[in-house]
Amino acid sequence: MENSYFFKCIDCGKTYKKDELEYVCPACAGGQRPMEPTRGVLKVVYSSCGGGGEVLDSASLRSDGKTDFLRSNGKIDEFHLISPLKDRSLFPPLKVGPTPLYRPERLCGELGLDNLYLKDDTVLPTGSFKDRASSLVVAKARELKKDVVVCASTGNAATALAGMCASVGMRCVIFVPAGAPPAKLTQIAAYGADLVPVEGTYDDAFELSLSVTREFGWYNRNTAYNPFTIEGKKSAALEICEQLGKKAPDKILIPTGDGVILAGIYKGFWDLKQLGLVEKLPQLIAVQAEGSCVITKMFEQAGVADFSLRSCRANRARTIADSISVTAPRNANWAVKAIKETKGFGVTVQDKEIISAIGHLAKMTGIFAEPAASAPLAGAMKLAGKDLLKRDETIVLLITGTGLKDIPSARKGIKIRKPINPTLSAVKKIFSSCL
């Protein structure tokens, strides 16, 4: 059974009935300019009354036993109990979570953090966190009787959408920068998506996809633009809470580009707090590449009002971490607000630190992650050295994508021996110091 919900604009606070619009607040979007954060991003708010008010109506959900079920013998990560779908059978058949939450003992000892955890989303069906959003968006598209879903992506969101659409026989059209990692382009094409590489950046692809949406009426999955992307991504927060014994961690380090994963984690814990299932919101730490750190700068420079189109164009994103390489972060406004509300902060890491973290994460934990997904470890290593992470805090690093997405980047920080002759003496020569 569907939970009743309405939309609330995160910028102006105006509310809309769920059937009133699809994407963004028209009152705010009227002032939207190309190459700037999306204005009028919508939050899904659950309520029995269908509109008005900021607080999630926990009484209405509790009245049908959902809150009591979740608090006692039920699992908080039963996502369908706090979701905007009428019928959970609409979800694609590919299983999206729960993913493992590991406590890596060797890494805990090295960093001096007793309660460090890794949320491993490399094991999701198409290999990244973006499966969470794409699964829900495809389900919603099916509910709305849409025939075609379109999106712009640096690679992972597109791959996730292509995989989810393939699993239900739905057509999708994908716009990606032509310079996206070949593995991601190959994966998208293998799923049978209509792949359209764009000569330009992710931001160029994003603007083009919006034009296509307006022209052809296709259902748009774009991050933040479609409010259900954030609802899908919040499922990770519900899983983390369940896996920690129905508790929120103290801090979560999140690889941040557009700011939608960060907003999704925030939204998940916000929903749980409104329902009385957790007492606090975790501190959210945005980990950004030094060459793509608009959200961190916005936060440090007092926020949204200081952001300008000029500053965006003057600071084109440049980083090896393609999944968080964004010149105009589309969900910057909400991300900055979430960081402030949770008393979090941002940390930037250099590309060389990200590359080093790929190998270090793999060597210390057995998890092979792409550059963006390794950024949280690079951030944790930097923060632990500055005593900004405390030994007794419960800290979660989001590992958001498999290293198989971008082998060339991983190779930059890893040494592979030259081939040897197939002789015992050649082997002895390699290992002479330890035999």
> Any idea what DSSP says for residue 150?
E
What pLDDT was estimated at residue 75?
A: 58
What pLDDT was estimated at residue 313?
A: 56
Task: Residue 253: give the domain boundaries.
Answer: 101-123+229-411
- Name the helix (H) or strand (E) containing 396: strand 394-399
pLDDT digits (tens, 9 = 90+) for 302-349: 644 445 545 555 567 889 998 898 888 889 999 999 999 999 999 999
Euclidean distance between CA atoms 161 and 115, whole angstroms? 34
Is 191 within the bounds of a domain?
A: no
* 403 within 8 A of 362, measured Cβ to Cβ: yes
What pLDDT was estimated at residue 330?
A: 86
Euclidean distance between CA atoms 23 and 329, whole angstroms? 17
In CATH, what number is assigned to the domain containing residue 268?
3.40.50.1100
Is 348 within the bounds of a domain?
A: yes
Q: Name the stretches of the chain with pLDDT < 70.
A: 1-2, 48-81, 302-315, 435
Residue 10 φ then ψ, to 5°: -75, -10
Residue that has been written with the tokens 């009428």 in this structure: 86
Cβ neighbours of residue 306 closer than 8 Å, sequence gap 6 or more: 298
Euclidean distance between CA atoms 330 and 323, whole angstroms? 14
What pLDDT was estimated at residue 240?
A: 96
Is 334 within the bounds of a domain?
A: yes
Is 267 within the bounds of a domain?
A: yes
Is 214 within the bounds of a domain?
A: no
What pLDDT was estimated at residue 302?
A: 66
Q: Number of C-alpha atoms within 13 angstroms, CB side, residue 69? A: 13
Is 84 within the bounds of a domain?
A: no
pLDDT digits (tens, 9 = 90+) for 146-162: 999 999 988 899 999 99
Residue type, 34: P
Cβ-defined contacts of 96-99 (< 8 Å, 24+): 96/124, 96/125, 96/131, 96/132, 96/135, 96/235, 97/124, 97/132, 97/235, 97/236, 97/239, 98/239, 98/242, 98/243, 99/123, 99/124, 99/236, 99/239
Is 354 within the bounds of a domain?
A: yes
Cβ neighbours of residue 56 closer than 8 Å, sequence gap 6 or more: 45, 46, 47, 270, 271, 274, 275
Structure tokens at 81: 């109990």
Is 16 within the bounds of a domain?
A: no
Task: Spell out the alpha helix ranges (H) of 247-293.
Answer: 260-274
Euclidean distance between CA atoms 142 and 140, whole angstroms? 5
Total structural domains in the chain?
1
Q: Write the DSSP string, 112-143.
A: T-TEEEEEEGGGSTTSBTTHHHHHHHHHHHHH
Closest CA to 23 of 38, 45, 42: 42
List Cα–Cα distances, 143 to 48, 136, 396, 410, in angstroms: 21, 10, 34, 40
